[in-house]
Amino acid sequence: MKRALRLFGLLLLTAGTAASVAAQEKRITEAEITALRNKAAEKLNGQKYRIKMTSGVYRNPNSKTPTWTNNSIIEYAPEGSRSITEINNNGQRSLSEMITLGERRFMKTNNEAWEELPATQGFGGGSGVAVSSEEKVKRGVEYKYLGKKMVDDRETDLYEIKTTTKITSRGKTGVSVVTERFWFSRDNQFIKTESESRYDDKPVQHTVRRYEYDPNIKIVAPIK
């Protein structure tokens, strides 16, 4: 009898916890999440902060580990930025560092010496992916607030954007799901972001960024 009562109490507790989580979650609009992201981005202007990023690409859809990874630390200050990036491409590792100060850019690769890069008018952008006329595409987007979550001992508000795309070509249908998550602090600063892509429920790409706000960050030229 006591065992049955304990089990009943556990079931009530589990149901109550599930109901509490469900009560926190709610659908929101695109305008709401866009406003939050824009406000957080505006707060980065003039800030001294650091982004720690880990990213992986799964070139083999049946693999549980990425074949290409990028581990980066990027620091920003009003005077410029500094980044350290380690790439692992199927076991081949490389390390690069870059410092930007106004119009000046400096780069260091592996154990080589620092060099100043020539001035440039800007960086080239990517092109969009074309969809052939033979393909049929259906896309749906969900916007959600997922409640209060703790990140590194800080209370945050978690939001999610999930984009599901069904592509039918030559009688075959594939499903792409891109999930973006944003953790905001109480004063609407970025604390963490995450992006995950899957195709037919197999991993394609996964990226996590963590934000640290550090007033001691200072960017200086490595060479005169």
Question: Number of folded domains in the chain?
Answer: 1
Pairing between β-strand 136-151 and β-strand 104-109 as defined by DSSP bridges = unpaired
Whether 219 maps to a domain, the answer reads no
Identity of the amino acid at 52: K
Whether 124 maps to a domain, the answer reads no
Whether 196 maps to a domain, the answer reads yes
Whether 189 maps to a domain, the answer reads yes
Whether 47 maps to a domain, the answer reads yes
- pLDDT at res. 18: 44
Report the alpha-carbon distance of residue 205 to residue 47 in Å, rounded: 29
Largest Cα separation within the chain, whole Å, is: 81
Its domain, for residue 78, covers 26-114+182-213
Query: Taking the CA of residue 71 as centre, how many other CA atoms within 13 Å lie in the half-sphere pointing to its CB?
Result: 7
Whether 126 maps to a domain, the answer reads no
Tokens (6 digits) for 99: 């410092």
- pLDDT at res. 134: 58
Report the alpha-carbon distance of residue 87 to residue 110 in Å, rounded: 11
User: For residue 150, which phi and psi values (nearest 5 degrees)?
Assistant: -95, 130
Whether 108 maps to a domain, the answer reads yes
Residue 181: name the closest of 162, 199, 192, 194 by CA: 194
- pLDDT at res. 120: 64
pLDDT tens by residue, the chain, 224 residues = 555 545 444 444 444 444 454 558 999 999 999 999 999 999 999 999 999 999 999 988 788 899 999 999 999 999 999 999 999 998 999 999 999 999 999 999 998 999 999 976 444 444 444 455 556 889 999 999 999 999 999 999 999 999 999 999 888 999 999 999 999 999 999 999 999 999 999 999 999 999 999 999 999 999 98
Torsion sign across C-alpha atoms 148, 150, 154, 158: negative
Query: pTM (2 decimals)?
Result: 0.82
- For residue range 167-198, what is the model confidence (pLDDT) as tens digits? 998 889 999 999 999 999 999 999 999 999 99
Report the alpha-carbon distance of residue 108 to residue 117 in Å, rounded: 10
- pLDDT at res. 19: 46
Whether 140 maps to a domain, the answer reads no
Report the alpha-carbon distance of residue 96 to residue 115 in Å, rounded: 12
